[in-house]
Structure 1
Amino acid sequence: MTREATAVTREVLWRRVMDELGFEHARVRRDQEGTELSGLILVAEQGSPLRVEYSVVCDAAWRTRRVMVTQTWRGVRRSLTLEHDGGGHWRRDGMEAQELEGCTDVDLGLSPSTNALPINRLRLDEGCTAEIQAAWVRFPSLDVTPARQGYARVGPARYRYESLSSGFNAMLDVDADGLPVEYAGVWRQVAEGPAAPESPAEAFTNALVSPEPSSELGDAAATFGWLVGGWAGAIHDPAADGTVRQSEGEWWFHWVLEGRALQDVFIVPSRRTRGSAQPQPGTGNRYGTTVRTFDAAAGLWRIVWVNPVTGALNRLAGRREGDTIILLGEVQGQPIRWSFHDIRPDSFTWRGEEQDSAGHWKLQAQFDLRRIA
């Protein structure tokens, strides 16, 4: 039996009855390894739509281990990653977060779902109380601060929650998963049911894509990290007769493989111009990918580019040199050089060159790109 087949999944919908200005759609996935709470929160915040997507991964004892949050508000997308060793030590966005030392759970300030974390971890007997320290995430600032909280089990499915810093307290009626059914007139569970399993595409993406570079890369991550996102622009392909073919292309980058590599997808012509009739294989037609990994021993970034359209397979290596990134390799014994120039926050130029028998570099392609995401 597969791991997916043994998982129990359900989804829950809450309405923010306090002001009728928000909803949360959450998914609970439990198996022998632990539980993941993930969801989408949509609320009105200071007159603007606030969208929050989150994932909280817990081990089998309901200890919070990893938290990923992406927020969009007033035209700005921001993200937050928290990692917990299960013993009170935290990292925020890959850096040690000493201010959270001793926190045991995460509390997403907008979400009723994370109350289930201490409820399930503590498993209080009826009539018992406990005090915890939670890593409290506030929205839309995405500040994370320690928060002293108290939980008391006052009935079979009822808990009293208290913020020991502010004095706020509320009664929580919960379901079998410890998720609030009624959160003292603030949130109310309005729907629940079984959840469909991840699609193969979702499962693959979740296994591949990483929210940030691995801490193992250290300062080396900055060499290519600025590329994360999307780029589009003019692609120039010189021909032997001196003419230049120009196309529109798109280039997408993200961290993958637990953040130890950076991968891209490069598409020329761009998808919106490829149309239903696919371009014929040949120079200028690209729908390929590059994987970049860092060789710490050599101090080099090594890359592999694959273009199934033409069958191209190139390997290069290099590093940043001042304001330029230079990568060197060979194709059929001929030296090649790929380089990034004029690097700015929202634009750059990429050049692909080949060295002739006289040692001169000849331009094979040039991409002038601007940021689109």
Structure 2
Amino acid sequence: MATEAKAVTRELIWRRVMDELGFEHARVRRGPEGTELSGLILVAEQGAPLRAEYSVLCDDAWRTRRVSVTQSWRGEPRTLTLEHDGDGHWRKDGRVAEELEGCTDVDLGLSPSTNALPINRLRLEEGTRAELRAAWVRFPALEVVPARQGYTRVGPARYRYESLESGFNALLDVDEDGLPVEYAGIWRRLAEGPAAPVSPSQAFMEALVSPGPSPELGDAAATFGWLVGGWAGTIQDHDPDGSVRQSHGEWWFHWVLEGRALQDVFIVPSRHAPAQSGPGANKRYGTTVRSFDRAGGKWRIVWVSPTGGAINRLDGGRDGDRLVLLGEHHGKPIRWSFSDIGPDRFTWRGEEQDSTGHWKLQARFDMRRIA
């Protein structure tokens, strides 16, 4: 009986020796389905710390298929997503990138690892040369521009890289996987070895979390996309007798399922809140998944609360300057809304309609952005 080939995973560290201002810690995972290059880059850029995490997925012929980059620089987080059909057609952040037409590989300007992509894809014979167009990602702007490049195999494990527009050229000494060992006095490998298996929790997060919304959502992504990040604030439960119980809570949002849905985690009391001496708001530790029904033109959400046992389904969307969702709970109409929306704040209200048609406030959350 044939057995499936196991993935081979390596870890490597490079130092930017040309100025001693940067390091990269990369992971290379090769399997029968293709290769993933991922890594963390830490450099000093214009006197400020720059942190960039990336993932490059390739098929079994080393053709770049999907790229994601998350960058933090001068207090500003930014993301970039590139998708490639393998035939020179690209999307950038979900939109067709005509300027990248004909590019075959991605070149991350801060990383030596992506030189391995054309080296492995081309598989040049010694003494031969090839030219290509690469999607060159420039940091810290995260601009992507086409770049004409040349690779010549000048020895068994040595290549000459050329930037055909600037005239820059450099020699690369590589290993058996085409990964640089020495990059012409610019980058130098410090360490390499087998990587520990990815933990189940990390593998789950990588499968679930997406860097941004799917292009399938189009303009609808903006309805809830502004929530991505972390929020904290005051949580109030309004009881039938008119009393109000209050606690502090936190709320985290991110794109999931290849950006087709937005999921949150809602926690009350906050993990960082001091213990309360009196009764506070109801304990909550649950999640909501939001997905867009293109046929109906509405967002549909499902809230699951293991602590309270509730499962609520609502749908809706933008209503003027509010977001309004309607549903039922125990046979009674309910309305959830986001209002007073600003760059760093919003108010959420949960209401139930009584037999007279009056909406009664059951809960109110006043949130401020923390991430």
- TM-score above 0.5, yes or no: yes
Deviation at 1:38, TM superposition (A): 0.5
Which residue does 1:315 correspond to in 2? 313
1:336 aligns with 2:337: no
Structure 1 outlier segments of 4+, above 2 Å: none
Amino acid at match of 1:296: R
C-alpha distance in 1, partners of 2:295/2:165?
A: 49
1:219 aligns with 2:219: yes
Which residue does 1:239 correspond to in 2? 239
Which residue does 2:206 correspond to in 1? 206
Deviation at 1:47, TM superposition (A): 1.1
Cα deviation, 1:176-200, whole Å, max 9, x if unaligned, reads 1101111111111111000011111
Amino acid at match of 1:262: L
Identity %: 78
Which residue does 1:172 correspond to in 2? 172
C-alpha distance in 1, partners of 2:122/2:274?
A: 56
Which residue does 1:66 correspond to in 2? 66
Aligned partner of 1:348 among 346, 349, 354? 346
Deviation at 1:236, TM superposition (A): 1.1
C-alpha distance in 1, partners of 2:99/2:127?
A: 32
Aligned residues of 2:230 and 2:369 also touching (Cα < 8 A)? yes
Which residue does 1:45 correspond to in 2? 45
C-alpha distance in 1, partners of 2:346/2:217?
A: 23
TM-score (norm 1): 0.96
Deviation at 1:332, TM superposition (A): 1.2
Deviation at 1:273, TM superposition (A): 2.6
TM-score (norm 2): 0.97
User: How many residues of Structure 1 are paired with residues of Structure 2 in the alignment?
Assistant: 369
Aligned residues of 2:236 and 2:281 also touching (Cα < 8 A)? no
C-alpha distance in 2, partners of 1:2/1:55?
A: 28
Which residue does 1:12 correspond to in 2? 12
Query: What residue ranges of structure 1 are gaps of 5+ in the alignment?
Result: none
Cα deviation, 1:46-84, whole Å, max 9, x if unaligned, reads 111111111111000000001111111111111111110
Secondary structure class of the residue paired with 2:178 = coil
Amino acid at match of 1:39: G
Q: 1:332 to 1:66 in 2, by over 3 A?
A: same
Secondary structure class of the residue paired with 1:117 = helix
Q: 1:81 to 1:87 in 2, by over 3 A?
A: same
Deviation at 1:371, TM superposition (A): 0.9
Amino acid at match of 1:62: W
Which residue does 1:327 correspond to in 2? 325
Aligned residues of 2:246 and 2:281 also touching (Cα < 8 A)? no
Cα deviation, 1:197-236, whole Å, max 9, x if unaligned, reads 1111100001111111111111111111111111111111
Which residue does 1:296 correspond to in 2? 294
Cα deviation, 1:253-286, whole Å, max 9, x if unaligned, reads 11111111111101111111377x9x99x96110
Deviation at 1:136, TM superposition (A): 0.6
Secondary structure class of the residue paired with 1:272 = coil
Q: 1:2 to 1:236 in 2, by over 3 A?
A: farther
Aligned residues of 2:71 and 2:79 also touching (Cα < 8 A)? yes
C-alpha distance in 2, partners of 1:63/1:37?
A: 12
Comparing 116-125 and 253-262, the one that deviates more: 253-262
Which residue does 1:371 correspond to in 2? 369
C-alpha distance in 1, partners of 2:313/2:50?
A: 43
Cα deviation, 1:330-351, whole Å, max 9, x if unaligned, reads 1111111111111111111110
RMSD, aligned α-carbons: 1.7
